Amino acid sequence: MSVCRNCGQPLTPQQAFCKHCGTKNDIEPQTRAVGKKTVTLSAPVKWGIISILVVVVGLFSAHLYLSNQYKPEKAVLRFEDAVKDKDYASLHKILEQGGTETSLTDSELKGFVSYLTKKNDFKATVKQLRQDAAGTKHYKRIHPITDDYGNKLVVLVKGPKKFFLYDQYFVKAYPFTISASSNLDHTKVTFNKQTKMIKEADEAVTLGKVLPGNLTLNSVYKGEYTTLNSKTDVDYSEASNNKVRVSIYLKGKFITIYSNGDHADVYVNGKKTGFKTGTEKEFGPIPTNGTMEMYAVLDRDGGLIKSNVVKIEDEGEIDLEFKELAEEKQRAEQKERNMEALAMYGSDSTPNEQMHNFMEEFIAASVRAFNNRDFSLVSSYLAPQGSGYSATEKYISHLEEEGITEELLNLEILDVTTTEKGFTVKTREEYNIYYEDAPGKNTIFESTYNLEATDFGLRELSLENTKPVKSVALESDADYE
């Protein structure tokens, strides 16, 4: 212990001034001498510590870099840049990693870029992707982004962790399912270098999946008579739920076959086609350059009949007519007309009675016209185009010149046959014929008349022949007056 140098009061080593008089304590406190030991590190240890620090700093920097690279915003940016720069290799990788379910060919990717940027609002699509990327921090649910027509277009998807630490995000594109139908059977359609067959017309056949873009379907129809080709662009604006059906139209030339014989086999250039007449289906497609000749064959009552032969030089309608059937139809129709005309002379009578009624009317009118020298009394019973019309006029003039009159005594129908225009009728007629300058005669004639059936009844066409089969002089004209 020390004392104050002014008043002698004891001081502790730690006192700076004397408590009694305030004099400064000039005596330095005694200290214990302690020996200092210096530690020196070796060079390997120093480099080891430096290496560890470098690794730690590097790992931390890498962590920061990777955390930034695998942010969902970066996935959107890479997709945006690939589309804008038309970097199809990068776009292929992005969509493949995102799980896009198509082949991702270069042509497909080019079309997809065009669809994104020209047929849709790509800025709006990217904006929505960015919003979805930002929403992942808050675990918001991500929904697919649709195109202008309501079909799924792209979506931000989460992939497996990178290095088991970092979440990965990718952009996935939604393909469209393409189906096609054709207006012709057996149409081959090329899709992504593969060919599919549409076996039946209007049948929808699924071709496959493809990203929306610029897709043209090449179609080929190889028929027995001609080959047709067409190119059809896929219109994605007609898609619904990422499905679009393409209607393929192959423009060929067709004919409609008409025939008076149904279920007849149609032949082309002598070869049976399997097509039958009497259907509403068109025949074709066919060439129209005259190289095709067509006819039909009908098995009728155990015998074959052949139609006319038609050379095909234009599309439209053709008529394969069987002459035999046409003639039969004509005869049947004429018979019907005949019977309708005949029925005007007694609806409740037999055909023979009806014919007798007409002939009796006609001959009676003729006799009146002869005796009165008046053609008008019989003209309504004559067909103007028939030879009997003019012949009757001349006959009346002849009777007038000769002074001859007639009296019908009896009429008998011997035979009636149907003709193309009406009937042929054979009669036996008995007359008394009177002359001005000679004795009268009783004469029986057998005559053959050709009659026409009209809507107004029967008309005489011609007197085919007439001949007397018996003629005797009248004993006295007075006996017949």
- What is the residue extent of each domain of the chain? 69-173, 176-248, 255-321, 338-480
The mean pLDDT of the chain is: 88
3-state secondary structure of 259: strand
Q: Give me the pLDDT at residue 5, please.
A: 72
Asked if residue 422 lies in contact with residue 450, where contact means CB atoms within 8 angstroms, the answer is yes
pLDDT of residue 34 exceeding 50, the answer is no
Contact 212, 236 (CB under 8 A): yes
Backbone angles phi and psi of 413, in degrees to 5: -90, 120
Q: What is the pLDDT of residues 439-461, one digit of tens each?
A: 999 999 999 999 999 999 999 99
In this prediction, residues 105-134 reach a mean pLDDT of: 92
Identify whether the C-beta of residue 144 lies closer than 8 Å to the C-beta of residue 154: yes
- The average pLDDT across 249-258 equals 93
Q: What is the pLDDT of residue 365?
A: 97
**Region of residue 126 (phi > 0: left; psi between -120 and 50: alpha; otherwise: beta):** alpha
Confidence of residue 60 (pLDDT cuts 50, 70, 90): very low
* pLDDT of res. 47: 73
480: helix, strand or coil: helix
**Confidence bin at 163 (pLDDT 50/70/90):** low
Q: Count the residues in the chain.
A: 481
At 177, the amino acid letter reads: T
| Higher pLDDT pick, 323 / 62 | 323
Q: Region 179-186: what's the mean pLDDT? A: 92
Quick one: pLDDT at residue 141?
Answer: 84
Kindly tell me if the per-residue pLDDT of 36 is higher than 60.
Answer: no
Assigned fold of 176-248? Immunoglobulin-like (2.60.40)
Report the pLDDT value the prediction gives residue 68, as an integer from 0 to 100.
Answer: 53
CATH class of 338-480: alpha beta
- pTM, rounded to two decimals: 0.59
Tell me if domain 176-248 and domain 338-480 are identical in fold.
no
CB distance 24 to 16 below 8 Å: yes
Find out whether 334 and 453 touch, Cβ atoms under 8 Å: yes
Instruction: Decide: helix, strand or coil at residue 451.
Output: strand
Which pLDDT score, from 0 to 100, does residue 51 have?
73
